[in-house]
Chains A and B, each alone.
Chain A
Amino acid sequence: MAFGSGLVKGLGVTFKEITKTVTKGAETVQYPHQKEDPAPRARGVIALHEGNCTSCMLCVRECPDWCIYIEGHKELAPPRRAGGKPRQVNKLDRFDIDYGLCMYCGICVEVCPFEALFWSPEYEYSEPRIADLLHDKTRLSQWMETVPDFETYEAGSEAKVLKVPR
Chain B
Amino acid sequence: MITSFLALEPAYWQSTIFKLLMAFVAVLLPAGGTVYLYLFKMVSFMQSRLGPMEAGPYGSLQLVAELGKNLQKEDLIPAKADRFVYAAAPYVVLVSTFLLVLVIPFGPDATFADLDTGVFFALAVTSVSVIGILMAGWASASKYSLLGGLRAAGQLIAYELPLVLAVVGVVIQAGTLNLQGIVSAQIDGQIFGWGGIGNPFILTQFIGFFIFMVAVQAELTQTPFDMPIAESELVAGYMTEYSGFRFLMFFIGEFATANIFAFLASVLFLGGWSIPPFIADALFADGNYSNIMNFVGPLIMGGKMLVLTFIIYWVRFTYPRFREDQLQKFAWKFLIPLALVNIAVTGLLKVVFE
The answer to A–B direct touch (Cβ < 8 A) is: yes
Are B314 and A27 interface neighbours, CB within 8 A? no
12 contacts between A and B (CB under 8 A): A10-B319, A11-B314, A14-B46, A17-B46, A18-B45, A20-B48, A21-B49, A22-B45, A27-B49, A28-B48, A28-B50, A30-B53
Are A14 and B50 interface neighbours, CB within 8 A? no
* A3-36 residues at the B interface, CB under 8 angstroms: 7, 10-11, 13-15, 17-18, 20-22, 26-28, 30
Are B314 and A15 interface neighbours, CB within 8 A? yes
Are B315 and A17 interface neighbours, CB within 8 A? no
Q: How far is the CA of A18 from the CA of B47 in the complex (A)?
A: 8
Q: How far is the CB of B217 from chain A (nearest CB, A)?
A: 13
Q: How far is the CB of A151 from chain B (nearest CB, A)?
A: 30
B318 at the binding interface (Cβ < 8 Å) = yes
Are A10 and B48 interface neighbours, CB within 8 A? no
Residues of B with C-beta under 8 A to A26: 44-45, 48-50
B317 at the binding interface (Cβ < 8 Å) = yes
Q: How far is the CB of B328 from chain A (nearest CB, A)?
A: 16
Residues of A with C-beta under 8 A to B314: 11, 14-15
Q: How far is the CA of A28 from the CA of B318 in the complex (A)?
A: 20
Q: How far is the CB of A102 from chain B (nearest CB, A)?
A: 31
Q: Which residues of A come within 8 Å of B, CB atoms? A: 7, 10-11, 13-15, 17-18, 20-22, 26-28, 30
Main secondary structure of the interface of B (DSSP, over half): loop
Are A11 and B318 interface neighbours, CB within 8 A? yes
- What is the count of residue pairs linking A and B with beta-carbon distances less than 8 angstroms? 39
Are A30 and B50 interface neighbours, CB within 8 A? yes
Are B45 and A10 interface neighbours, CB within 8 A? no
* B2-54 residues at the A interface, CB under 8 angstroms: 42, 44-50, 53
6 more CB-based (< 8 A) A-B contacts, given A14-B314, A18-B46, A21-B50: A10-B319, A11-B318, A14-B318, A17-B45, A17-B46, A26-B45
Residues of A with C-beta under 8 A to B44: 21, 26
Q: How far is the CB of B308 from chain A (nearest CB, A)?
A: 15
| Nearest-neighbor residue (CB-CB) of A27 within chain B | B48
The one of B48, B315, B319 that contacts A21, using a Cβ cutoff of 8 Å? B48
Residues of A with C-beta under 8 A to B49: 21, 26-28
| Nearest-neighbor residue (CB-CB) of A20 within chain B | B48
| Nearest-neighbor residue (CB-CB) of A7 within chain B | B319
Residues of B with C-beta under 8 A to A14: 46, 314, 317-318
Residues of A with C-beta under 8 A to B47: 17
Q: How far is the CB of A30 from chain B (nearest CB, A)?
A: 6
B185-220 contact mask (Cβ, 8 Å, vs A): 1 or 0? 000000000000000000000000000000000000
Q: How far is the CA of A15 from the CA of B47 in the complex (A)?
A: 10
| Nearest-neighbor residue (CB-CB) of A10 within chain B | B318
